[in-house]
A and B are shown apart, each in its own frame.
Chain A
């Protein structure tokens, strides 16, 4: 059984680490070479295995990929909410608002959470405390970061409920979560996440658990609130349609890595990576009536037995010589475009078998400790 380190099992700070230079001032969030592993009974899961991306102030970025590719772990690592153990932040830097936050003491990190960066979760039904009224929960979040009276905090809660389109907010504020519908609860979560005017909002599949009819409304609300507050938005989803409607830029994730980045328009209209191409052609509305859906064959790799070369190699229709043994790093393909695929390297830059194979070693650790 996993042992509990402290009350909240939060990621301890890697203090005194040497980190690289800070990113440019207009960059709000920069993730560099982030690796978050989980040590479990059967070995080690490299849930996030070398992720790099950037989010400018006020910008919106979509992080897409199949279920299990590491999107949630990426966002939880940024928030330092990964349980350690079984998790471990093996490598990487997270620069937020000019500071490397993986090195921050937990007390400092707590001041950032909720105030400067906040999160909207997938499950509105279970993400609110059942024993307190929703107004109270927002008020508590406000009080955690601002020197306000109970009354002012409560009023801020009501104001936020009104802002997210909840009718009769002063009455709703006094209700318990179970008295509200799923869509209403997600509005409450959004109100709470935005209650302290954060610079970054991470929304992890915010519409996945909702009825289809409600999904569009919630997405619309997130977009509107983002525009109104000017916060940067990291929108995590497995739904390309959501990305197309909501964000400026996107990053595609596969098996713990980013395989493609670019503006949402560019990536969706002209995907560079075979995985992105597969994702797009497997959307039913993209295929003319009567024609067969192009489904990506195979399944995501077993996390304990990652391919040694390109992680998409077992499923890739375009696989060629270097793919089996060498893992392609992200490479700039166009202005503002990057892809991790050997096809986008000029032949001279592709490794050949004669090169010393430096495959990103598949993580296959034996049982760690006695669990």
Chain B
């Protein structure tokens, strides 16, 4: 049977390339994920090129022009200050997407660090960290975020930190749970039987296999983060400067004109919903694409 002798070949295909390549291919075949990705892409495009696409600046307008319904000049109408709503929705995407995504990144960094220490070290360290996490989890996330913003003051960084901290317990829990389950998995025991060091086991055998749920959860969290950031804005805890276009604050500002100018609620609201749904669809698609055990 063993006919071929040792053959010298160049290990051309790098592992991660193959793995991510496969996942990407599976993702591209997932229709809902493509829809989600498209939604996100439209907003990212709008946010990046807002100065080019937006017909007006976010704070350009005449009070005399206030509360105009949608028209050719202002396809989404104008708000109380006479600013162009379409332009503000585009500029608002910058705030909502960056703040939302960076908040999730903060949450990931904090949560995975805590989770990796807890799941890796175990014992008393694990017990202590998990009790802290339990306390954080007992407080509703948005309430926690409100408290943190109230404490740290207004500003984009504060919002990112607040939302990030309120998400970190979920990531910590998720990673710790995966790591504990993976410790017992056959391939981790097999790797130990081959003499792999604890650090290598954690970094190479456990974390990559714990990554999938984290990536999925992070994408889904981006959806709620956008809503949370808007929620903070709606509650008056958005970026300090009122001239900054932010979807949540736009909702608050226009809620007084629900009767006379419902379009002012509709467009920023739709932007929040569509971007959140986009991240949700992408998250679900990733869940399937990243599982190498699922056949095409």
Q: Which residues of A does B touch, CB under 8 Å?
A: 3-10, 79, 81, 110-115, 118-119, 121, 123, 126-133, 135-136, 140-141, 144-145, 150-151, 154-155, 158-159, 162-165, 167-170, 174, 176, 178, 189, 192-193
Instruction: Closest B residue to A192 by CB, please name it.
Output: B194
Task: Report how far A10 CA is from B189 CA in the complex, Å.
Answer: 10
B72 on the interface (CB 8 Å rule)?
no
Known: A6-B122, A121-B190, A162-B4. Contact between A140 and B196, CB under 8 A?
Answer: yes
Are B122 and A155 interface neighbours, CB within 8 A?
no
Q: Identify the 5 closest CB pairs spanning chains A and B, nearest first.
A: A4-B122, A114-B195, A114-B194, A165-B1, A159-B6
- Contact residues in B for A176 (Cβ distance below 8 Å): 18-19, 292
Task: Report how far A125 CA is from B188 CA in the complex, Å.
Answer: 13
Task: Report how far A81 CA is from B184 CA in the complex, Å.
Answer: 11
Could you mark each residue 1-45 of chain B with 1 if its beta carbon is under 8 Å from any beta carbon of chain A, else 0?
110111111110101001100000000000000000000000000
Are B190 and A128 interface neighbours, CB within 8 A?
yes
Are A3 and B122 interface neighbours, CB within 8 A?
yes
- Contact residues in A for B201 (Cβ distance below 8 Å): 7-8
Are A81 and B193 interface neighbours, CB within 8 A?
yes
Contact of B195 (CB < 8 Å), options: A3, A110, A133, A170: A110
Classify the secondary structure of B's interface with A: helix
A-binding segment of B81-89, B152-160, B202-210: B202-210
Task: Report how far A151 CA is from B200 CA in the complex, Å.
Answer: 19
Are A141 and B195 interface neighbours, CB within 8 A?
yes
Are A163 and B11 interface neighbours, CB within 8 A?
no
Known: A8-B192, A162-B2. Contact between A174 and B13, CB under 8 A?
Answer: yes
Are A140 and B197 interface neighbours, CB within 8 A?
no
Distance from B197 Cβ to chain A, minimum over Cβ atoms (Å): 6
B contacts with A, residue count (CB < 8 A): 45
- Contact residues in A for B260 (Cβ distance below 8 Å): none
Contact of A162 (CB < 8 Å), options: B5, B18, B183: B5
B147 on the interface (CB 8 Å rule)?
no
B135 on the interface (CB 8 Å rule)?
no
Task: Report how far A114 CA is from B195 CA in the complex, Å.
Answer: 5
Are B195 and A145 interface neighbours, CB within 8 A?
yes
- Return 28 A-B CB contacts under 8 Å, by A number: A3-B122, A4-B121, A4-B126, A4-B183, A6-B123, A7-B120, A7-B121, A7-B198, A81-B189, A110-B197, A111-B195, A113-B193, A113-B195, A114-B194, A121-B186, A123-B186, A127-B189, A128-B190, A131-B208, A132-B15, A132-B19, A141-B194, A144-B194, A144-B195, A144-B196, A165-B1, A174-B18, A189-B190
Task: Report how far A115 CA is from B198 CA in the complex, Å.
Answer: 17
Known: A114-B194, A118-B193, A131-B208. Contact between A164 and B2, CB under 8 A?
Answer: yes
Distance from B58 Cβ to chain A, minimum over Cβ atoms (Å): 45
Could you mark each residue 155-181 of chain B with 1 if its beta carbon is under 8 Å from any beta carbon of chain A, else 0?
000000000000000000000000010
Are B7 and A4 interface neighbours, CB within 8 A?
no
B191 on the interface (CB 8 Å rule)?
yes
